[in-house]
Structure 1
Amino acid sequence: MTKSGQNAVTTLRQMILTGALKTGERLVEIATSERLGVSRTPVRIAFRTLEQEGLLTKLPRRGYEVRSVSPIEIEGAIEVRGVLEGLAARQAAENGLNEEQKHEMQSLLACGDLLFEGAELTEDDLATYHDMNRRFHLLIIEASGNLAIQAALSKNEHLPFASVSALAIDKNNMQKEFKRFAFAHQQHHHVFHAMLSRQGARAEGIMREHAQATLGYDRNYHRTELKNKLTVISHANK
């Protein structure tokens, strides 16, 4: 996906999460492209992506509609991803990482380290993080050697905010987002070393906690922030 397409996806996803786009609201390409200040192509891509994530419903004639999403649905989908990825990390640790997996994970971690050397993230940095993060998670699934986990995750990714790529970014508070993603990246380091040391239980625990970084950069922050954001969604759904 192009950077403009990815930016459109993350922007619309955040607008749905915060209630800026309300349940039942109709979205069409031209009006949305004007609202976001982009061409129609990235908006078209964003609509299709968000439909696959369960956030939009395609209308029979033209356009899309913002789907009703409950707090329980979001929390449940994220928790399921944590359980599945935790199992994958444990099995990857028990299997042991091969040299190719080790090398690629180390390269991805080094890439992430460069992103967080400064004090802020640009939109280009976020696009790089998105790709790096997705590949790192995929490597853990591959290293588990368990095809059933991959199949279960593929189904779960069609639920709202369940996909590892379903990042909602508050572009009005990039300092907070920097802290959130920096925390998540440190978890990548920790789970890598746990897998490398063949510490299955520790690797599983880290990945289950890591799933919560989808909407918050530590458990206490997550609970407060998620509660606030989902309250907005609940009110929008009434």
Structure 2
Amino acid sequence: MTTDIHNTRNNHQNPETAAMDQLSKNNLSDQIFHLISEKIVHNVLKPGETIYETQISKELGVSRSPVRDALRMLEQIWLVERTPKGSYQVRELSMEKIQHLYETANVIYQFAFAKAAENIRPNDGVELKKLMTQLESSLDGNDFERYITNVTIMGHKILKIAGNPMIERIAIELMPTAERIQWASITSMPDQLKTVVTHIRRGYDFIIQQKPEAAAAAFKDFCTAHVQVVMDGLTQTAEKTATGQ
């Protein structure tokens, strides 16, 4: 792996100090998992790039065991995969895999939006309203990182309101890959993204109004529009790369 795994976005902070500060808390495997997953999601670790247990353990000053556990966890949520030689590499993002993700998300979240509309309580509505406002405001300044974070947080909240732990677990496993796809695509499509978010607003409104079928339909519209933005964004990025722009 050519990228220093503990190099953080806070450039003023010593990378080794920053990494070890993060690793000082709780479970080492979980901390290493989050360090690596963030690098993959933000495309610091590129598709197809090899990740070496020995190098990571040396960089972070830990044994190979928690690194190995972290990589297995990343494999379970489809961010990395084993190579024929037994090492790990960052999974490629093919159009087919992206389509599969959105098909799965469409099924899961139509259910979640409908159940949330059935189960919502007044205090849930207050929290969702706050999240919806934050989500919409993040696009006013093209703050894509805040947008992606808010989409994820709102997804977590709707899953909690829906109240099905099995569905919630599957959805949470998909979230890092969903964030990775968004980082790779939507940052070049701000105007289209604003249109897409209107479907989330409709879904939110129908959840508040306790209209399950309408809430599910609104998420389907969001998913259909969002996957088109993603595909257009990836195509645009590929064309720029091909022409050297």
Q: Distance in 1 between matches of 2:199 and 2:73?
A: 27
User: Is the counterpart of residue 165 in structure 1 residue 143 in structure 2?
Assistant: no
Give the alignment of 1:132-151 within 5 angstroms.
Answer: 132-151=150-169
Cα deviation code 1:186-234 (max 9, x no counterpart): 22211110111222222101212333455443xxxx56566x48x99xx
Paired residue total: 198
Instruction: Please state how far the C-alpha of 1:83 moved relative to its aligned partner.
Output: 0.9
Q: Aligned letter for 2:98?
A: I
User: Is the counterpart of residue 104 in structure 1 residue 116 in structure 2?
Assistant: no
Q: Given that residues 92 and 195 in structure 1 are in contact (C-alpha distance below 8 angstroms), is that contact kept between their aligned partners in structure 2?
A: yes
Match of 1:117 in 2: 140
Q: Distance in 1 between matches of 2:104 and 2:43?
A: 24
Q: Aligned letter for 1:100?
A: N
Q: Given that residues 187 and 206 in structure 1 are in contact (C-alpha distance below 8 angstroms), is that contact kept between their aligned partners in structure 2?
A: yes
Give the alignment of 1:122-133 within 5 angstroms.
Answer: 125-126=144-145, 128-133=146-151
Instruction: Please state how far the C-alpha of 1:108 moved relative to its aligned partner.
Output: 1.0
Q: Quote the sequence identity (%).
A: 17
Match of 1:185 in 2: 197
Q: Aligned letter for 1:99?
A: P
Cα deviation code 1:32-88 (max 9, x no counterpart): 9xxxxxx989xx9x9788544313225699963244665434312321111111011
Match of 1:10 in 2: 41
Q: Aligned letter for 1:9?
A: I
Instruction: Please state how far the C-alpha of 1:98 moved relative to its aligned partner.
Output: 0.9
Q: Distance in 1 between matches of 2:71 and 2:60?
A: 10
Give the secondary-structure state (helix, strand or coil) at the position aligned to 1:57. strand
Cα deviation code 1:86-120 (max 9, x no counterpart): 0111122133x2122111111112212332233x3
Q: TM-score, with normalisation over the residues of structure 1?
A: 0.61
Q: Distance in 2 between matches of 1:169 and 1:13?
A: 11
Segments of structure 1 that go 5 or more residues without pairing to the other structure are 33-38, 233-238
Segments of structure 2 that go 5 or more residues without pairing to the other structure are 1-6, 10-34, 62-66, 240-245
Give the secondary-structure state (helix, strand or coil) at the position aligned to 1:54. coil
Q: Distance in 1 between matches of 2:232 and 2:114?
A: 29
Q: Aligned letter for 2:40?
A: V
After superposition, the CA RMSD in angstroms is 4.3
> Taking structure 1 as reference, are residues 40 and 183 closer, same or farther at Cα in structure 2, changes over 3 Å only?
farther
Q: Aligned letter for 1:210?
A: F
Select 1:91's aligned residue among 111, 115, 123. 115
Q: Aligned letter for 2:214?
A: R
Select 2:214's aligned residue among 202, 208, 216. 202
Instruction: Please state how far the C-alpha of 1:168 moved relative to its aligned partner.
Output: 3.2
Q: Given that residues 41 and 177 in structure 2 are in contact (C-alpha distance below 8 angstroms), is that contact kept between their aligned partners in structure 1?
A: no
Of residues 47-56 and 85-94 in structure 1, the stretch that sits farther from structure 2 once superposed is 47-56
Q: Which has the higher contact order (CA 8 A, sep 6+)?
A: 1
Q: Given that residues 90 and 203 in structure 1 are in contact (C-alpha distance below 8 angstroms), is that contact kept between their aligned partners in structure 2?
A: yes
Q: Given that residues 55 and 69 in structure 1 are in contact (C-alpha distance below 8 angstroms), is that contact kept between their aligned partners in structure 2?
A: no
Cα deviation code 1:4-47 (max 9, x no counterpart): 3576333328953xxxx4xxx53459999xxxxxx989xx9x97
Match of 1:26 in 2: 50
Q: Aligned letter for 2:39?
A: A
User: Is the counterpart of residue 56 in structure 1 residue 80 in structure 2?
Assistant: yes
Q: Distance in 2 between matches of 1:14 and 1:147?
A: 31
Q: Aligned letter for 2:221?
A: E
Match of 1:77 in 2: 101
> Taking structure 1 as reference, are residues 134 and 62 closer, same or farther at Cα in structure 2, changes over 3 Å only?
same
